[in-house]
Structure formats: C-alpha cells, structure tokens
Amino acid sequence: MRPARVEDVVGQPHLLGPGKPLTGLLNADPLHSAILWGPPGTGKTTLARLVAGAAGAEFIAFSAVMSGVKDIRQAVEKAKEYRSVKHCSTVLFLDEVHRFNKAQQDAFLPWVEDGTLIFIGATTENPSFELNNALLSRARVYVLKTLSAEDIAVLVERALTDDENGLAGAFECAPEQVRQISVAADGDARRALNLLELAAGLADSTGSKCINEELVAEVATGGMRRFDRGGDVFYDQISALHKAVRGSDPDASLYWFARMLDGGCDPLYIARRMIRMASEDIGNADPRALRLALDACETYERLGSPEGELALAQALVFLACAAKSNAVYTALGRASRDVRELGSREVPERLRNAPTRLAKELGHGKDYRYAHNEPDAFAAGEHYFPDDMDERNYYNPVPAGLEIQIGEKLERLREANRQERKKDAQKSRRRKQS
C-alpha cells in the first residue's frame, strides 16, 4: 500500500503541494541531501523513494540499526557503478540515522561531498542533537508531522478497496470501525494498516467478512500512545506539563500527567520535576507548594502505582492553582551573574567569623551589629555586601500570594536602610566641613 505517486501521499500539507518545500526537492535538479525528521509511520521512507523515482536515481536503502560502515562502502561502490554504466545518481536512504555514531556518520561524508551519493536520512529524534554538524551542514531538514485520524481514515479506506495491494472489497468495515482503527493508530499509518490486517485475519478465521467493533477493539487493546523515554516526545511532554502548571491550568496539567503515565514514564521523574516547579514557579508566593510536592513524592515511594499516582495528581493540581512567583529563581540568577562577573570580593571584617583569639585580634567580627539587639531586630543601614560592592536588590517579590506581605515588609526595611544611610551621609559631610 505504499504510495507510488506523490499525489497519493496523505498528510504533510505543509511540505507537499505547489510551492511547498518537499515539492521543491521532488523537482530539484540536481538533488540535494536531506534529513526527514518526524514520528513513526508518517511517510519518511515513502517520500525518500518518491524523491529518488522523480529524479530517475537508483535507490539504496539501509537501516542504521542493522548496518555499518562496511555497508556504506558497498553502497559507494554500487553508486560509482551506476554513475559510470547507467549515468544516473544514487540516493542512499538511511533509516534511523540517529542510531549511527559520529564516526559512522563521518564515513559517508566524502561521498556526499563529491556527489557520488545523494544522502536522505530518516529520524524520529531531533537532528540537532543526534547528527554531527558536518552532516547537518550538507543536508536540508524537513519536519514531518503526525498524521491526523482523518488522514489515516483515508489510508484505511484505500486499503479496504484497493484491488492490487489491498483487501479489494473482501471485507465490510463500517465508517465507525474505520474511525476506531484510525484513532487507535495514534498518528502512525503503518500501525493503522497492521491493525486492519489483524482485524481482517481474525474475521476471516471465523468465516466472517465483517470487521466489527469487537474485532477492532480486540486488536487495538493495550496500545500505548506515542512516548519515547528519554527522547524528543518525552521532553516535549514534560515541557508541556511544566508550562501548564506554570500557566495555572490544572486540567491541562492532569492531561499531560496522564499522557506521560500512559506512555510508561517513571512517576518519580514527574514527582522530582514537580519539586522543581514548586521552587521555580511558585516559590515564596505559596511556600506550602514545596512541602506538598515533597510529601507527594514520599507518598508515591511508599505506595507505588497506581495508588501513589493520586497523591502526585493532588499535588500537581495544587501547584497549578497556587499563586505564582519566579522572584527567587530570577534573584538567584542575578546573584550568580554578579558572582561570575565581579570576582572574589573580600568578606568585610565585621562580618567574618571569629572562633579563635587570633581571629578576634585580627578584627574579625569587630563592630558587627547584632540584629537582635537593634529595634525591631533590624540593623538599619548595615551593609552586608562586600565593602567595595554597591547594594543590590536581587529579590523583588511579585504581588501574589504570600509575597505580597513579603514585598511590603522588604520595602519597609529597605526604606529604613535608605533613611539611615542618608543620615550617615549627612553626618559624614558635617564632619568633613568641620
């Protein structure tokens, strides 16, 4: 059922059609190397074959899972033969190209460079992370998207009626069951055709020619939604979960949480990320968030799945609904930048530790103002930064949650500091004048 013409390709409207990028590749003369990046079952191999066919080029296909440098060398020899005998180009298609290490990727670069091979790689992983820069600079990246249920329904209907490679009308399948298969395929055309074939086989084994709801449900049972632990989909989904919590949307947060659990993600990974959310995005606006995230993590460790997942969901909803502040997160970033840029400033002697007689004789701790002996336990005007460093205001509470009160208190204290330093400056000027 693989499409033999570009007109038969379903999906990818952003790449195919008049003036679209892949249409340009199909009509390119000469061909250029390309990387096709997208989820499984979206047509990467099909498109590579169509590109080679449109250019009248020979097509050599390998899978990086099963192949190595030796296979690449053999492909190079074949390409040289095709060029000298048939006077045609050769497209080398490497599926799962991200499985090749950097040295293996380098092995065919010279032949791509001199035009012996037109390289087309297919990958489900981000090429920027998995492919070396030399290969990326010689190939254009095309991003394929997951097929919609409507796209896959077109393919299923085509397979049911195709006379040459399909079922040629041998089975009845109502639109509801076509939709059922299309949704179960979860964006993967290959999976949809496999499900249809299995359902047809079960129907045939019972002497029936009807692919009914029960048969489709049986072959589709247990299917996992797309999720690759440690890959792009994994990080995309945890990113979406974090952003939903940050955006105060408990419903979307629960959706992505359920998606990740459904895909087999370790719940403790999500629990650790929730602890980070509590500090990074909520902070002192609601300090209960950090404690609740820690408690949920501990609860899951004690109960495991599925009972412990409820505690994680409870904490997740609280985090999403809590007042938000990244004031501490940004304050730490500003302080860290000053540390890097300003170097190792000396600790003022009055602030130094004085555990020994020698330290005290050297002046450590001398003239230190013990805050608890000051009015309101605050030493107004004291300077706690290095003496050769100006005062900094890294932490600026946001007007949300508890940080409203923290901000009001800090403003009072900072104003007291300003007034006290103003008095000190006036005294200093009078002393100089006298």
Report whether 407 contacts 397 (CB < 8 A): yes
Locate 233 and state its tokens: 């989909």
CA-CA-CA-CA torsion sign (310, 316, 318, 320): negative
| Angstrom distance (rounded) from CA 390 to CA 378 | 20
The DSSP 8-state label assigned to residue 148 in this structure reads P
Q: What is the pLDDT of residue 21?
A: 82
Q: Which of 183, 193, 260, 258 is nearest to 223 (CA)?
A: 183
| Angstrom distance (rounded) from CA 133 to CA 106 | 10
| Angstrom distance (rounded) from CA 172 to CA 161 | 10
| Angstrom distance (rounded) from CA 278 to CA 320 | 10
Length of the chain: 434
Locate 350 and state its tokens: 């009055």
Q: What is the pLDDT of residue 109?
A: 84
How many C-beta neighbours within 10 Å does residue 405 have? 11
Q: What is the pLDDT of residue 165?
A: 80
Q: What one-character-per-residue DSSP string does 71-114 give?
A: HHHHHHHHHHHIIIII---EEEEEETGGGS-HHHHHHTHHHHHT
Q: What is the pLDDT of residue 386?
A: 93
Q: What is the pLDDT of residue 159?
A: 92
| Angstrom distance (rounded) from CA 52 to CA 176 | 37
Q: What is the pLDDT of residue 230?
A: 56
The CATH code belonging to domain 232-321 is 1.20.272.10
Task: Based on DSSP, count helices (H) and strands (E) in the chain, helices before strands.
Answer: 19, 5
| Angstrom distance (rounded) from CA 399 to CA 255 | 29
Alpha carbon 305 to its chain's center: 25
Q: Which of 104, 99, 105 is nearest to 33 (CA)?
A: 105
The CATH code belonging to domain 328-429 is 1.10.3710.10
| Angstrom distance (rounded) from CA 353 to CA 107 | 61
| Angstrom distance (rounded) from CA 190 to CA 122 | 15
> Tell me: domain 6-143, CATH 3.40.50.300, correct?
yes
The DSSP 8-state label assigned to residue 349 in this structure reads G
Burial class (CB in 10 A: 0-12, 13-18, 19+), 159: buried
| Angstrom distance (rounded) from CA 142 to CA 121 | 10
Q: What is the pLDDT of residue 432?
A: 77
Q: What is the pLDDT of residue 189?
A: 92
Strand order of the sheet with strand 118-123?
A: 58-63, 90-95, 118-123, 34-37, 140-143
The DSSP 8-state label assigned to residue 186 in this structure reads T
Query: In sequence order, what are the beta bridge partners of 143?
Result: 37
> pTM to 2 decimals?
0.65
| Class of domain 149-220 as given by CATH | mainly alpha
CA distances from 317 to 96, 189, 241, 285, 292 (A): 38, 35, 11, 16, 11
Q: Which amino acid, residue 166? A: G
Q: Where are the domains of the chain?
A: 6-143, 149-220, 232-321, 328-429
pLDDT tens track, the chain, 434 positions: 888 888 889 998 888 878 888 887 777 667 788 999 998 899 999 999 988 888 888 898 888 888 888 888 888 888 888 888 888 888 889 898 888 888 888 887 888 888 888 889 999 888 887 888 888 888 889 999 999 999 999 999 999 998 888 788 889 899 999 999 999 888 899 999 999 988 998 888 888 889 988 888 888 875 555 555 556 778 889 999 999 999 999 999 999 999 999 888 899 999 999 999 999 999 999 999 999 999 999 999 999 988 999 999 999 999 999 999 999 999 999 999 999 999 889 999 999 998 898 988 889 999 999 999 999 899 998 989 999 998 899 999 999 999 999 999 999 999 998 898 888 888 888 887 77
| Angstrom distance (rounded) from CA 273 to CA 261 | 14
Beta strands 140-143 and 34-37 are parallel
